[in-house]
Chain A
Amino acid sequence: ETGVTQSPTHLIKTRGQQVTLRCSSQSGHNTVSWYQQALGQGPQFIFQYYREEENGRGNFPPRFSGLQFPNYSSELNVNALELDDSALYLCASSLEGLAGVGETQYFGPGTRLLVL
């Protein structure tokens, strides 16, 4: 148990719809990172939020957007869903300092999204 929770656990959507995934970070952590893991591949970085500000973004289009709340929980929103968005979405929380050297990231159980 990492203390990181995600909801929902599974989700089925149709192409063109919008989806919101949620993540609650481990107590005391101020940073949330989101990753997409397609079947048979390693997780790919989507973006990271540090103290409610976006702190880095991977190679994902603008229809992937996010938010971090004052309690450091986070949302991932995906608009105009495409078939290739079907994947396991993982969030990770960590405690980052100003030096930003990269602390241990703890992952939630993930949300499995299927786009039909």
Chain B
Amino acid sequence: GIQVEQSPPDLILQEGANSTLRCNFSDSVNNLQWFHQNPWGQLINLFYIPSGTKQNGRLSATTVATERYSLLYISSSQTTDSGVYFCAVVLQTGANNLFFGTGTRLTVIP
């Protein structure tokens, strides 16, 4: 089956620092989404980005589908950015379900 690996698994940042989270996937995909899961478990949509680059405020994401990876950039991090970040993909074949990565746990300290 498909492998979706994220790195680093854990990240601790000082408030104001920048970071890059990586997602590697092993098969061709139709869809890639980035989520932030808050401490209460809510998965918050960050980006729908099967290819290309998108920006939303302090966050931006780039997916290079041909090389099977995606990057999430967080600039000027804030304590509210803490939580677990997941990337999730939909395969080009089969059902339209999301396969989630292993997650990156981000802790931003003041």
Which A residues form the contact surface with B (CB < 8 A)? 2, 31, 33, 35, 37, 42-45, 48, 55-58, 88, 90, 92, 94, 96, 100-107, 109-110, 112
Contact = CB atoms under 8 A, between A and B. Distances in A.
Contacts of A92: 43, 98
Given A31-B96, A96-B96, A42 B102 contact: yes
Interface residues of B, number: 23
- Judged by DSSP, the binding face of A is strand
Contact of B97 (A42, A56, A90, A112): A56
Interface string B31-60: 101010000111101001000000000000
Contacts of B35: 107
Contacts of A55: 95-96
B86 A104 contact: no
A92 B37 CA distance: 14
B97 A33 contact: yes
20 contacts: A31-B96, A33-B97, A33-B98, A42-B103, A43-B88, A45-B99, A56-B94, A56-B95, A56-B96, A58-B97, A92-B43, A94-B96, A100-B96, A101-B30, A101-B96, A102-B96, A103-B48, A104-B31, A107-B35, A109-B42
Interface in B38-97: 40-43, 45, 48, 86, 88, 90, 94-97
A112 B86 CA distance: 19
Nearest to B86: A42
B41 A88 contact: yes
Given A42-B103, A102-B30, A110 B41 contact: yes
B100 interface: yes
